[in-house]
């Protein structure tokens, strides 16, 4: 298992190195964090000793290297990738760990279509498939559940969610995105990528705070995800570069976290927001779970089988 993981990491680095990407190693600890309604970073108390005083500060183990990689891009860096530890609180299970390995990359001066092509080609190369398929988020909901996920009312979503968990559906009756995630994971995701990798694109705008608006559906975001054998492997964006929209979405995400009873976290600094709006180049970014990729490549059933350390 250790040997297989070493080979996987070499294959991933070779794939990106051969295409001219530069590998970087962003920090795992920061005083800021990516704000997401459903993802909680691990909070760390820091005691910093200066020349004359001791300073207490709260930091966060990073859920993604996104903040620092985008800082590098805004300063003129070319296409980048990193294979780094990532941390998410309360994530435990066969496919979840509090600490895991993330591969994240950014393609400079590339479109969403280019980002999808790179992700699909990488999946086919690493997992030895001949081809991949691209599907629309709205279309799979229409095909599998006979609803439009953007236009359907909350009551209709709750009614469908009750089929898998009535109490959970009731507790989420005012959480549209939570209900859509539940329906996707329970009724649609297990059927995706069974014969070949599937990339799902055009998610609702409310589910992609840092993605640009889709060019072919203004009600959706230019977000795409990779599924193989019913397992979500990667999440990608055509990166948002509009400061005003970004500020609005950050505020909306913070409001939603408060509604869900989640703690307040320090959002990305204003300096990065400004950099993203005026200096971040056109680019696509993708975050991929290396441990899940290893699981699929070795035909394992849980992350414990492909990780040498207990969860």
Secondary structure of 216-245 in the HEC alphabet? Answer: CCCCEEEEEEEEECCEEEEEEEEECCCHHH
Q: How far is CA 154 from CA 47, 164, 289, in A?
A: 46, 16, 32
22-23 vs 80-87, strand pairing mode: parallel
Q: What was the pLDDT predicted at 119?
A: 98
Residue 89's pLDDT is 87
Cα distances from 4 to residues 115, 233, 300, in angstroms, run 27, 18, 12
pLDDT > 90 in the chain, percent: 62
pLDDT reading at 311 higher than 80: no
pLDDT tens digits, residue range 117-146?
Answer: 999 999 999 999 999 999 999 999 999 999
> Which of the four pLDDT bands, split at 50, 70 and 90, describes residue 52?
low
pLDDT in the model for residue 67: 86
Average the pLDDT over each of 88-92, 105-109, 148-152, 174-178 and give the range with the smallest value: 88-92
Q: In which band, very low, low, confident or very high, does the pLDDT at 267 lie, cut at 50, 70 and 90? A: low
CB neighbours of residue 135 within 10 Å: 18
Residue with the larger pLDDT of the pair 250 and 87: 87
Which CATH architecture is the domain 2-132+196-305 placed in?
A: 2-Layer Sandwich (3.30)
Token pair recorded at residue 139 = 């279309």
Lookup: tokens for 291 = 């441990």
3-state secondary structure string across 56-72: EEEEEECCCCHHHHHHH
- CA angle at residue 8 from 113 to 300, to 5 degrees? 95
Rounded CA separation 172/48 (Å):
41
| Local confidence band at 208 (pLDDT 50, 70, 90 cut-offs) | confident
Q: Is pLDDT of 91 > 80?
A: no
Rounded CA separation 44/60 (Å): 6
First CA to last CA distance, the chain: 16
Residue 308 has pLDDT above 90, yes or no: no
SS3 292: helix
pLDDT band for position 51 (cuts 50, 70, 90): low
Which pLDDT does position 16 carry in this prediction? 98
**If you average pLDDT over residues 249-271, what whole number do you get?**
74
- How much is the average pLDDT of 184-196? 96
What does the domain layout of the chain look like in residue ranges? 2-132+196-305
| Rounded mean pLDDT, 107-116 | 96
pLDDT for residue 23: 98
Q: Is 89 helix (H, G, I), strand (E, B) or coil?
A: coil
Band (47; pLDDT cuts 50, 70, 90): confident
Sequence-ordered list of residues with C-beta below 8 angstroms from that of 49, at least 6 positions apart, any chain: 55
């Amino acid at each position: 298992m250790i040997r297989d993981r070493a080979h996987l990491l070499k294959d991933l680095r070779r794939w990106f190195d051969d295409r001219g990407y530069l590998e970087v190693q962003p920090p795992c600890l920061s005083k800021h964090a990516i704000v997401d309604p459903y993802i909680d970073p691990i909070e760390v108390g820091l005691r910093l000793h200066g020349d004359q005083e001791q300073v207490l500060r709260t930091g966060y183990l990073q859920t993604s290297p996104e903040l620092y990689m985008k800082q590098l891009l805004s300063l003129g860096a070319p296409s980048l990738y990193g294979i780094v530890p990532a941390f998410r609180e309360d994530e435990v299970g066969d496919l979840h760990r509090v600490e895991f390995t993330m591969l994240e990359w950014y393609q400079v001066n590339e479109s969403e279509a280019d980002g999808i092509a790179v992700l699909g080609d990488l999946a086919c190369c690493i997992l030895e498939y001949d081809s991949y398929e691209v599907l629309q988020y709205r279309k799979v909901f229409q095909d599998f559940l006979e609803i439009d996920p953007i236009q359907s009312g909350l009551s209709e979503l709750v009614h469908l969610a009750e089929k898998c968990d009535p109490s959970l559906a009731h507790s989420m009756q005012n959480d549209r995105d939570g209900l859509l995630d539940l329906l996707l994971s329970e009724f649609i995701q297990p059927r995706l990528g069974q014969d070949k990798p599937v990339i799902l694109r055009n998610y609702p705008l409310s589910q992609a705070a840092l993605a640009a608006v889709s060019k072919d559906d203004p009600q959706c975001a230019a977000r795409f995800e990779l599924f193989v054998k019913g397992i979500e492997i990667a999440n990608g964006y055509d990166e948002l570069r509009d400061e005003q929209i970004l500020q609005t979405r950050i505020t909306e995400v913070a409001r939603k976290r408060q509604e869900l009873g989640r703690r307040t976290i320090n959002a990305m600094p204003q300096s990065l927001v400004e950099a993203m709006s005026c200096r971040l180049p056109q680019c696509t970014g993708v975050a991929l779970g290396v441990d899940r990729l290893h699981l699929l490549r070795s035909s394992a059933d849980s992350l414990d089988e492909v990780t040498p350390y207990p969860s």
